[in-house]
Structure 1
């Protein structure tokens, strides 16, 4: 399958989990991928898996200078950019009554401000036919105890796609949201343990957690011309968790 043949993609949070799975799928379908993340050791390990059609840039989406370096690297090697997967995210549980300003700032700096500037700084390199994908979450549509700041930040991501689609009218660039539910990423496995994963998965009608590759497959669909009449849409890949 070569739906992304010759395309250039940027994936933030691309060294692990859903981002790495998407990078693998994009490369399988013919893309050249830049992954962006904060931990050099994770980036190095990801590059070893991804092979010669990938590059890595270290940095944080909440740091605009880091994003400038990322896009300068893309421009220097590839000239233009076709796909952006704004996947970097942050946020842990903190219940009402214990929420701090620092917790809100960390969550919103990455999930909202980081998403905005990941997209905005990419635009000068993009042309008609480009696809922008924002990683949302089932938490943006449902309530979960202790996850008020995280859920609010992901609800904001959903609105960003709706608003940016109007801002991009006439550009030929599409923007959509990919919203995962329970996904068996490295972080989730470590946090939940085997029993926790089973319990979380059983909350979905499909009674399991997603493999990150299942999210990567949908990201590739949204990146490709197969989704050419989709913009401002949210695609839930959550096992039905937020749908019933």
Structure 2
């Protein structure tokens, strides 16, 4: 593993939902830039596979657990306290895609999606706050979906709007502690979850809708998270960085 830079030398970073996709790519990125990385995941098998892939030795701590379960978060923070004594970066990344017509959303599904996409981010930050060092950085994973309406995405988009506003609110509340809080809003991104949920037709339509004429990669998102978490972004606070190849803001040339 060859370091790209030393922006995160000796810094401690927590990534929830770090076993695949954007979370795992961010773990790779921060590890390559010198960080000690803590990753979480609900599936022990996938967590073990992620640790093997990262190949970071004692610079990787893997904690099985559900980011929406407060007891699991207590165990996580205790383990970080015991091993490192502090945190410098939190990437609240755990989340799921959930798409269905508004009229089909059940109460059980409502609570499931809200728990994973909003409650997990809310309490991950609350529980780890005592560990955050001066000038720490928090990045929350939101979604381009919060910036535009789309059929079948009412519940999902509402949870992403919630974490987006959480980032803005916490930016104000935590600023006196020297802690910055921002969010990222990925567009269509090539992750295992995307390919599992999207048909070939949907994948082709996604590419056609993006001005850059491609969907994003997990590494695209990881690069943006690393920037926001670094000292290079020390004057960026309460912002949302949309990483979507122009999906929200630009019209692809064939459509003009």
TM-score by length of 1: 0.97
Which of 213, 217, 231 does residue 237 from structure 2 map onto?
A: 231
Question: Whole-Å Cα distance in 2 between the matches of residues 76 and 221 of structure 1?
Answer: 28
Gapped regions of structure 2 (runs ≥ 5): 251-256
Q: Does 1:191 align with 2:186?
A: no
Q: Does 1:100 align with 2:88?
A: no
Which of 8, 13, 17 does residue 13 from structure 1 map onto?
A: 17
Question: Whole-Å Cα distance in 2 between the matches of residues 11 and 234 of structure 1?
Answer: 18
Aligned residue pairs total 244
Which of 47, 54, 57 does residue 50 from structure 1 map onto?
A: 54
Asked if the contact 1:206–1:239 (Cα under 8 Å) also holds between the matched residues in 2, the reply is: yes
Asked if the contact 1:198–1:208 (Cα under 8 Å) also holds between the matched residues in 2, the reply is: no
Give the alignment of 1:32-181 within 5 angstroms. 32-51=36-55, 52=57, 53-181=59-187
Shift of 1:198: 2.5
Secondary structure of 1:5's counterpart equals coil
Q: Does 1:217 align with 2:244?
A: no
What do the CA deviations read for 1:77-130 (whole angstroms, capped 9, x no partner)?
111110000000123111022111111111111111111101011110012110
Secondary structure of 1:168's counterpart equals helix
Shift of 1:240: 1.4
Question: Whole-Å Cα distance in 2 between the matches of residues 46 and 166 of structure 1?
Answer: 35
Question: Whole-Å Cα distance in 2 between the matches of residues 102 and 140 of structure 1?
Answer: 22
Question: Whole-Å Cα distance in 2 between the matches of residues 135 and 11 of structure 1?
Answer: 11
What do the CA deviations read for 1:33-55 (whole angstroms, capped 9, x no partner)?
01011011110110001121211
Secondary structure of 1:187's counterpart equals helix
Secondary structure of 1:68's counterpart equals helix
Question: Whole-Å Cα distance in 2 between the matches of residues 36 and 233 of structure 1?
Answer: 25
Partner of 2:206: 200
Shift of 1:192: 2.1
Shift of 1:195: 4.4
TM-score by length of 2: 0.93
Please identify runs of 4+ aligned residues in structure 1 that moved more than 6 A: none
Secondary structure of 1:90's counterpart equals coil
Partner of 1:29: 33
What's the RMSD between the two structures over aligned residues? 1.1
